Amino acid sequence: MKRIISLAVSALILLSLAACGRAASSASSASSASSAAPASAPAGSASEAPGSDGQTSSAPSASAVQDGESSGRVLVAYFSATGHTETAAQAIAQATGADLFVITPAQPYTAEDLNYSDETSRVSREYADESLRDAALAETVPEGWDSYDTVFIGYPIWWGVAAWPVSSFVAANDFTGKTVIPFCTSASSGLGDSGSLLAQAAGTGNWLEGTRFSSSVSAEDVQAWIGELGL
């Protein structure tokens, strides 16, 4: 009898340990998805990421691309205020043979406009009041838009989200039938919800999760990522 009780207690202990292990593992993957933001540039708001057309795929990977969903022409559309995202965009275009489209605000940002340490600067005012974010772009629809199957969308992170000229770009274009791959550069924040917020703003397209590069991104970093995508 003693032996049976001892066996039952051991089994209970083993079951409890297994349950703890599972809880620890899911907490760790949730925390690895969170992102840091620089002290001087607070991160933006979070949002949920649903998973149909116009939303970020829940399990984005290179497989959708490799399965032939997007075997045609590739476009890299990007906004870059100070040149870091442009470096990544050009490296992607070189590695994939893509065309480039520069998302240009009708009223470009000067260095003074970009000074987020000054609460009266243009970006600070636009951050505080979304209605001030001028949606106008110099050109909205890239030439030959319908012929692109895969579109990389590049942007700097501003206060934890995509710099807003990119939101104007995605809201104004129809991504139906296209695979969309966001990429960003930042001082320290992660990709966060920036891609899924853009997917929501677009409302169409098969959006993959994409990636974040450091501001000091190199062509080698980009090539390694493109290699993983299997384009």
Which residues contact ligand FMN by CB under 6 A?
37-38, 41, 43, 80-86, 114, 116, 123, 156-160, 185-189, 215
Nearer to ligand FMN, 36 or 136 (CB): 36
Q: Least distance (Å) from ligand FMN to the CB of residue 61? A: 25
Nearer residue to ligand FMN within complex by CB, 123 or 198: 123
Nearer to ligand FMN, 102 or 114 (CB): 114
Name the minimum Å distance from CB 196 to ligand FMN. Answer: 16
What six digits make up the tokens of 189? 């924040």
Tell me the closest approach of the beta carbon of residue 179 to ligand FMN, in angstroms: 23
Other CB atoms closer than 10 Å to residue 173's CB: what's the count? 20
Pairing verdict, β 211-214 and 179-186: parallel
Closest CA to 222 of 78, 101, 59: 78
> Which C-beta is closer to ligand FMN: that of 74 or that of 81?
81
Whole-number Å distance between alpha carbons of 146 and 151: 11
Closest CA to 107 of 73, 136, 76, 149: 136
Q: How far is the CB of 187 from ligand FMN (least distance, A)?
A: 4
Q: How far is the CB of 87 from ligand FMN (least distance, A)?
A: 8
Q: Kindly tell me which of 45 and 71 has the beta carbon lying closer to ligand FMN.
A: 45
- Buried b / exposed e across 56-83, counting CB within 10 Å, b at 16+? bbeebebebbeeeebeeebbbbbbbbee
- Strands 206-207 and 73-78, by their bridges, are unpaired
Comparing CA positions, the residue from 169, 178, 15, 187 lying closest to residue 79 is 169
Helices (H) and strands (E) in the chain, counts: 7, 7
Cβ proximity to ligand FMN: between 176 and 218 the closer is 218
* Residues paired with 207 in a beta bridge: 56, 180
Q: How far is the CB of 158 from ligand FMN (least distance, A)?
A: 4
Asked if 68 and 219 count as a contact pair (C-beta separation under 8 A), the reply is: no
Q: Which is nearer to ligand FMN, 142 or 154 (CB)?
A: 154
Shortest Å distance, C-beta 66 to ligand FMN: 29
